[in-house]
Structure 1
Amino acid sequence: MNSTPKLLVTQGRKATYLALSYSWGLGVRHNVQLLKRTKETFQHEGIVESAMTLSHQETLQVARMLGYRYVWIDAFGIIQDDKDDWATQSRQIADVYGNADLTLIAGKSDDSRQGFIKNVPRPRVPHCPIQYRSPVTSTSEDSTCYIGLQLTKATGPVEKRAWCFQELNLSRRKVTFSVQQLSFKCRHSNIYEDGAYVAHVPGNWLRDLSIRPSADRKVEPMDVLKHWYELTMQYSLTDVFDPTDNFATLCGVAKRFQEALQGSRYLAGIWECDMVRGLLWKSRKLYLGPNSRQSLKRPKGVKRLEGQEIQRAPSWSWLALTGPIIQATGKHHDEVFSDEANLRCRTLHNDGRTWTPDTWDPDVVVYPFPQCRLNIVGCIREVSRSSVKTANYGRRPRWQYSLARINDHAFLLEAVNDVKRSKDDGLLGSIVAIGLFDIEEQRSSRALYAMCLTYEEGLMLERTGDGYYRRVGVFSVEDDGYFSGLSSDMLSVTLI
């Protein structure tokens, strides 16, 4: 690498390069970065390395030591004040990191100004030197080994960054500067500084998204979708400074899955070929495990949208909100969706596959995003919140989640205008479902509608002024009879 770094516009040329995956830091803007006005200077006169952010400087140092002539860093690979260039480069992230010879992961640094090499943590207990002499060598001199506490394999703050999420998943070789140790990961194994070794089965693109799906690596669509749901649950735990970036931060990963699903449309984070299952995401509040106490929230803007609640996705998409989710995965759900007879809704369009007339795909990365409406034929029933507490229900709910969590966060739903029910049934006799709002603010919703997607679960909706419906939560069916309507009860519903 040249002693003075310069910007190279590749124009289709190919070469071996190193890429950097790191956290900028909350609201950090680099003193030296690629702008429209600096492009010519960076190309012809070079970049003042000493003025760079420390993480950028350290990346260049490592690249020189390893013999790399070219480096890709987002602050210099994307024109930061050019929306068109930002959108173009964001759509190419899968190739940028997938084609890199090596990716440096600045795992333990949550601020690029602090760097990722020098801030080495001190062990809680110092390593203890032990003298020994090897029985298999001829030397008479003693050697020394050091015994200490086991080092953690935790990567660090970048694991919580949405941008880094796809960079880590798309890179084929990674050297990670983790919280306590270095590690090297490739398609065959993970090797850690403390000697730990983990072998992989090579060639599995589902575990290595830098590999493009192809005919000789064909896998079953359900296996592809299952891995997508696993990744999206992980992704929902990450943060991004600007919430309008979220479709860009998932763009590269979504493109890999779209190739594997043979062109299935990507509708705001859900695949059209598995639409019904995809709609049944829910808050992690019902889950007894990690991150289950964190609520879903509406995203709030930054910069010119500072503090404003923004709608970055349709209400039915899990990407409309921030926070941890549960997807409809597992053996039970596989059994439910393996038989179409279990479904209680269908697409309005005659081809049986198209759920929306609107256009959306992984390349949609620039806010404001286009509209994406779902056209569904389903049976809708009006319901209301019951005054009876869930803990007093007296029956084991259909939902296979923690009963304590259900009692704490879910609520009972009563039938509305059901002439079949007698007043003698009492309050518990009118219970037809158990509901869960997506966010706390939706608890004030008055007129609620329930639409089954399967025989056991569905969406809670509210009606908009223009006759459309908006998702506010999910529900578990408790009274099959109330929701088993005749064909004449099926309505055309548009979700926005």
Structure 2
Amino acid sequence: MPSRVIDIGTKQPISFVRLHWTEENEVGQYAALSYCWGGEPPIKSTSSTVQDFTDGIRFSWFPQTLQDAMVVANKLGIRYIWIDCICIIQDDPEDVSREIGKMPSIFQEAYITISASSARNVQEGFLQPRPSVSKTCMKLPFETPAGKSGSILIEEPHRYTPEKNPISLRAWTLSEHILSPRILDYGSEDVWWICGSTKTSLDDEPMDVSTDQSQNKQFSLDSWRSTLRDYTRRFLTFPGDKFPAISGVAADFGAVYQSDYLAGLWKSALPKDLLWSSARSDISRPTVHRAPSWSWAAVDGEVSYKWCPTSFSDPAIVIDCRATPASLDAPYGALNPTLSAYLKIQGLMKRFKCGTTRQRLIEVATIEDPTNATHIGRAQGDADEKLPVDEYGWSYVWALVVVENPMRGLLLVPVREGYYRRVGLFYRLWGEGLEGFETDTITII
């Protein structure tokens, strides 16, 4: 059992519930709720309210999504339910960090996860009637083996399309769905039951699926990167949750990789794990620093590894890397803001000019007239940000080669002597751009 669960009792209808503090090693069945906050929840546990919840609180005081989840659990005969805004003391940083660190086991060990997939926020609820969805249907003549004539209907089967639901846009819920062994998914069009061997809607016959199509987690680097792309395209109510919201999945992968987790990258996969790239040019950076520039968490928006080749040699050598978590109870969570994360790396470097969009690389020695400059490389910026420019409108970046054949790497700007920050990635060089690289050892922060 989690540290705390909501005791909804066994009576119907529900009138009062209370926060139950479990004893060490207490065992029991409980449900977990996956839902969209949609902003600050109107009711939550804090240092000043947690005792009131422990004494008991009227069921009608809860917002509709939480009420609906308790009703579902109650009708399934499950007495306890875990809901984050009530079961975590929200204004206690130590409690938040400790309980978020337990998120993998909370959802993995839940008897069932109730997913409020159709609700955009905590007030909407998800038990209301769903609109009927028209399906493609054809009527065809049919003759039985006995010679009797009749007809059959061919109907398009239900398809599980979670991307249509509001919950698929929220970052926290990705981990919750991946980690849960059984899900009752209340979608916009239908209700789905999902587990390791079956995926079915209420209108369909159960459909057996192989485990790699449903809840099985393929612990490969490619599957991690695919998960990362899905995760980074989702939204967070609080930007500081970037690492905590995927910490549960990262812990699962970490148990298999047996590798240090460094600001969202795997030590065993460095330096090639540095070759993430932003999916769009309008991606921004968070207003408050939360990750070193070499981490995908340093930007707000979708990232992918489309420029990371499958086979290559990597001339860059990682000498040292540090990224210290804020809490030892949450090794995959937020980073310690007082201990700077850094990456010390040795590799081939060369200085280039580029425009404000960082899409083209230009030889520094070329004529200063922008109209006569010939680009000799292609690149892209990590975020929509301005770099210092000279009198001709050029910015200057350093290219650090991460892999060869094809030659790809990072775009850096100096911060101080020997220290740089990442501002982009280059993925193609030709002609004179391939010449003039020199080996250097630098630190990226």
Which band: TM-score by shorter chain? 0.7 to 0.9
- Distance change >3 Å, CA 208–CA 151, structure 1 → 2: closer
Report the Cα distance in structure 1 between the residues aligned to 2:35 and 2:291, rounded to whole angstroms.
27
SS of 1:250 mapped into structure 2 = helix
SS of 2:17 mapped into structure 1 = coil
SS of 2:245 mapped into structure 1 = helix
1:453 matched residue in structure 2: 402
Contact 2:346 2:441 in 1 (8 A): yes
2:324 matched residue in structure 1: 359
2:161 matched residue in structure 1: 154
- Deviation at 1:125? 5.4
Give the residue type in structure 1 aligned to 2:419. Y
Corresponding pairs, count: 403
Give the residue type in structure 1 aligned to 2:350. R
RMSD: 3.1
1:416 pairs, out of 364, 375, 384, with 364
2:6 matched residue in structure 1: none
Contact 1:379 1:485 in 2 (8 A): no
- Deviation at 1:97? 0.2
- Deviation at 1:126? 10
SS of 2:96 mapped into structure 1 = helix
- Deviation at 1:191? 1.0
- Deviation at 1:370? 4.0
SS of 1:88 mapped into structure 2 = helix
Report the Cα distance in structure 1 between the residues aligned to 2:73 and 2:191, rounded to whole angstroms.
16
Give the residue type in structure 1 aligned to 2:106. V
Tell me the TM-score normalised to structure 1 length. 0.74
- Deviation at 1:123? 3.2
1:113 matched residue in structure 2: 123
The answer to whether the aligner puts 1:7 opposite 2:19 as a matched pair is: yes
Greater strand share, 1 or 2? 2
SS of 2:311 mapped into structure 1 = helix
1:439 matched residue in structure 2: 383
Give the residue type in structure 2 aligned to 1:34. S
Report the Cα distance in structure 2 between the residues aligned to 1:124 and 1:200, rounded to whole angstroms.
24
SS of 1:374 mapped into structure 2 = strand
1:21 matched residue in structure 2: 34
2:224 pairs, out of 224, 228, 238, with 228
1:373 matched residue in structure 2: 342
SS of 2:220 mapped into structure 1 = helix
Contact 1:154 1:179 in 2 (8 A): no
2:310 matched residue in structure 1: 334
Report the Cα distance in structure 2 between the residues aligned to 1:256 and 1:206, rounded to whole angstroms.
16
- Deviation at 1:179? 1.0
2:284 matched residue in structure 1: 297
- Distance change >3 Å, CA 442–CA 152, structure 1 → 2: farther
- Deviation at 1:270? 0.7
SS of 1:379 mapped into structure 2 = strand
Report the Cα distance in structure 2 between the residues aligned to 1:193 and 1:238, rounded to whole angstroms.
28
Contact 1:166 1:250 in 2 (8 A): yes
- Deviation at 1:150? 6.5
- Deviation at 1:164? 0.7
Give the residue type in structure 1 aligned to 2:231. Y
Report the Cα distance in structure 1 between the residues aligned to 2:385 and 2:56, rounded to whole angstroms.
52
2:50 pairs, out of 39, 61, 75, with 39
Report the Cα distance in structure 2 between the residues aligned to 1:233 and 1:177, rounded to whole angstroms.
24
| 1:98-118 CA distance string (max 9 Å, x none) | 100100000000111111111
- Distance change >3 Å, CA 358–CA 170, structure 1 → 2: closer
Report the Cα distance in structure 2 between the residues aligned to 1:410 and 1:39, rounded to whole angstroms.
51
Report the Cα distance in structure 1 between the residues aligned to 2:127 and 2:231, rounded to whole angstroms.
26
| 1:134-178 CA distance string (max 9 Å, x none) | x9xxxxxxxxx9998865633311111111111011100000000
2:187 matched residue in structure 1: 178
Report the Cα distance in structure 2 between the residues aligned to 1:9 and 1:200, rounded to whole angstroms.
38
Report the Cα distance in structure 2 between the residues aligned to 1:444 and 1:194, rounded to whole angstroms.
60
1:403 matched residue in structure 2: none
The answer to whether the aligner puts 1:100 opposite 2:113 as a matched pair is: no
Report the Cα distance in structure 1 between the residues aligned to 2:214 and 2:362, rounded to whole angstroms.
44
| 1:306-330 CA distance string (max 9 Å, x none) | xxx1221111111111111121478
1:479 pairs, out of 422, 426, 430, with 430
Report the Cα distance in structure 1 between the residues aligned to 2:154 and 2:348, rounded to whole angstroms.
66
- Deviation at 1:206? 10
Report the Cα distance in structure 1 between the residues aligned to 2:272 and 2:159, rounded to whole angstroms.
37
1:282 pairs, out of 277, 280, 283, with 277
- Deviation at 1:479? 3.0
SS of 1:95 mapped into structure 2 = helix
- Distance change >3 Å, CA 162–CA 473, structure 1 → 2: same
SS of 1:6 mapped into structure 2 = strand
| 1:63-85 CA distance string (max 9 Å, x none) | 11111011111122101221111
Report the Cα distance in structure 2 between the residues aligned to 1:492 and 1:310, rounded to whole angstroms.
28
1:240 pairs, out of 236, 243, 246, with 236
Indicate the percent of aligned positions where both proteins have the same amino acid: 26
SS of 2:292 mapped into structure 1 = coil
1:312 matched residue in structure 2: 290
Contact 1:20 1:105 in 2 (8 A): yes
Give the residue type in structure 1 aligned to 2:173. C
- Distance change >3 Å, CA 229–CA 315, structure 1 → 2: same
Tell me the TM-score normalised to structure 2 length. 0.82
1:73 matched residue in structure 2: 83
- Deviation at 1:189? 1.8
- Distance change >3 Å, CA 160–CA 358, structure 1 → 2: closer
1:288 matched residue in structure 2: none
- Distance change >3 Å, CA 2–CA 386, structure 1 → 2: closer
